[in-house]
Structure 1
Amino acid sequence: MLPYPVLMDVVIRMLSAVLIGCIIGIDRDLHGKPTGMKTLGLVALGACLATMAAMGFSSHTLSVNADVSRAVQGIVTGIGFLGAGVIVQNPGQNRIRGLTTAASIWVTAAVGIVCGLGIWSVAAIATLILILLLTVGRMVEKALHRQWMRKPAEERAARAFADED
């Protein structure tokens, strides 16, 4: 059993990872994406737990440890497979969907790793940047899409054909 102060630190790290994952997931839920609050909360929690386990549940935040490095590499690789599961290609419409959701899964795992390491300032700043990017990026992409759709169909088709080369 972990000593009480260490156990409290572990619980705080896990709760912060879940909270951050849920905050990111709420954005995905609000926009009807395949992953949401529960999924990204679990991703962040899993990444946090794997990182802390590799650290031996030590409360030291920046110790250089090969075990932590291997755990982080494993998390990043494993999350890639989870993210790949939400990417869908629709050749009939010439569209690929789910890339942003896959990327948000990957970044959520990284934030979970940072929570596992106990580096709170980086976790908070990364979460703010991520939410800002998802929110502002969506508005910019919609504006760019509207601008693209105003172009004549012939110009859009010609550019799409040129982009395939």
Structure 2
Amino acid sequence: MNGWMHEVWVVAQREFSDLNDVASITQLVIRLCVALVLGSVLGFERELAGRDAGLRTHMLVSTGSALFVLVPLQAGFAQDDMSRVLQGLVSGIGFLGAGAIIKLSAEREVRGLTTAASLWFAAGVGVAAGLGREATAILSTAIALLILGGLRALKRSVGPHDT
């Protein structure tokens, strides 16, 4: 290999060296996959409920949130810097959630608040998974499913019935 090709090869190796051992790769795969699976569970519930933000949206929010905390962790960010990353992430998810909320002026009704909240929650689950708190992410998702599905079923069972 001549001089410039060798230099290109060295630079390319350095650029892709963020995952340089099996432990790093395994950790990254586990954390991203946990975020992906838990986001898909939340999104599937929203799709079953017939909501616009469903499976793909929740998967992207959860996995993207995990990525936003994984990269700074890999880069060795200090806790103060990670706090700023989380602040930006929460603001961005708030903007996304606002897009899920619709005000129907003719009926004077606001819709999409629960979907916006579930997107916000999916981001939190992704952050937990990305920070290596997989058990917390799983337990939180179970609680969210109880809130979303369980309370909807309870509401139907005790709600007004036609006679």
Normalised TM-score (structure 2) = 0.82
Partner of residue 29, structure 1:
47
Which whole-Å deviations, capped at 9, do the CAs of 1:29-86 have from their partners, x for residues lacking one? Answer: 111101111110000011000011121267xxxx971121111111111000101101
Which whole-Å CA distance do the structure 2 matches of 1:25 and 1:49 have between them? 18
Residue 25 of structure 1 and its aligned partner are, at CA, apart by: 0.3
- Percent identical pairs in the alignment equals 36
Q: Which runs of 4+ in 1 moved over 6 A?
A: none
The amino acid that maps onto 1:66 is D
Match of 1:77 among 91, 97, 107: 91
CA contact (8 A) 1:25 1:37 kept: yes
Q: Does 1:92 align with 2:106?
A: yes
Count of residue pairs the alignment pairs up: 145
Within 5 Å, which residues of 2 pair with 1:1-165? Answer: 1=17, 2=19, 3-56=21-74, 65-143=79-157, 145-146=159-160
Offset of residue 144 of structure 1: 5.8
Larger Rg: 2
Q: Name the CA distance, whole Å, in 1 between partners of 2:69 and 2:84.
A: 9
CA distance in 1, matches of 2:72, 2:146: 31
Deviation at 1:141, TM superposition (A): 3.4
> How far apart, in 2, do the equivalents of 1:4 and 1:87 lie?
43
* Structure 2 residues not aligned, in runs of 5+: 1-16
Q: Secondary structure at the match of 2:51?
A: coil
Unaligned 5+ segments in structure 1 are 151-165
Write the distance in 2 (CA, Å) between the matches of 1:131 and 1:82: 21
* Letter of the 2:139 counterpart: I
Q: Secondary structure at the match of 1:118?
A: coil
How much has 1:143 moved relative to structure 2? 4.8
Aligned mates of 1:84, 1:12 — CA distance in 2:
31
TM-score by length of 1: 0.81
Contact 1:88 1:98 (8 Å CA) reproduced: yes
- Provide the secondary structure at the position in 2 that maps to 1:85: helix
